[in-house]
Amino acid sequence: MFSLEPNMTAPTDRTRLRRAHERGAYDADSLHKVLDATCMCTVAYVIDAKPYATPTLHWREGDHVYWHGSSASRMLKTCAGAEVCLTVSILDGFVMARSGFHHSVNYRAAMLFGQAFTVPDDEKEAKLDAFVNGLWPGRMEGLRPNNAQELKGTTVLGMKIGEASAKMRSGGPVDDDEDYALPIWAGVIPVEMRVLPPVPDERNLPGVEMPGHVRDFSI
């Protein structure tokens, strides 16, 4: 049911699925696919024994995941060197069953636990460039370079993908056997996030053309 890659740990008490375990996966490929399918995650952490959860953008490089923000961010200051929980959730559809109890959703999700670390200053710019180019290949090469003040005001955190699990559901409803005889519509309402046509900045200089990585951007 589950496959383990050399760079992944076995399920732990925190990551092992206790319900609907057939939807779970702990291998690197499954986790990477979920993490790479979206650029938005939520990072959970604790301040003064009180829980917080902050949405932010993330990117993956190999077996590490990264996120960034202002160096003044309380979240980033708290997470650096601390245990955190990073989650990703993608809604793929509403599953309409023949009873309210069996309604569900199709989804892809991942949960990661680990100790966040601060990316050193001499590696920070390369990580930020990788984030931008990961979304829009070649974008950084045509931009004004980051200046020293911008880099000083930005913190990049990373975390190794080790103690983690993915959970997914797909397909139609699963009803009680006797309910299939009821004259009730059942099925799936698919849901997707889509990219709309780019909207140019009204202050673009005359003659500046839209680059291909913007025109052809997709998710």
The answer to whether residue 135 is domain-embedded is yes
Q: How open is the CA angle 205-211-215, to the nearest 5 degrees?
A: 115
The answer to whether residue 207 is domain-embedded is yes
CA of residue 44 relative to chain centroid, distance: 13
Task: Give the domain CATH number at 199.
Answer: 2.30.110.10
Measured in degrees and rounded to the nearest 5, phi and psi for residue 101 equal -60, -35
Averaged confidence pLDDT in the chain: 92
Residue 11: what pLDDT?
A: 81
Residue 8: what pLDDT?
A: 56
Residue linked to tokens 């993908």: 161
> Residues near 82 by Cβ (< 8 Å), separated by ≥ 6?
45, 46, 115, 116
The answer to whether residue 89 is domain-embedded is yes
The answer to whether residue 87 is domain-embedded is yes
> Residues near 76 by Cβ (< 8 Å), separated by ≥ 6?
68, 69, 70, 155, 157
* Radius of gyration of the chain from its Cα atoms, rounded to whole angstroms: 21
Residue type at 121 in one-letter notation: D
Range of the domain at 141: 21-174+182-214
Q: What is the pLDDT of residues 76-99, one digit of tens each?
A: 999 999 999 999 999 999 999 999
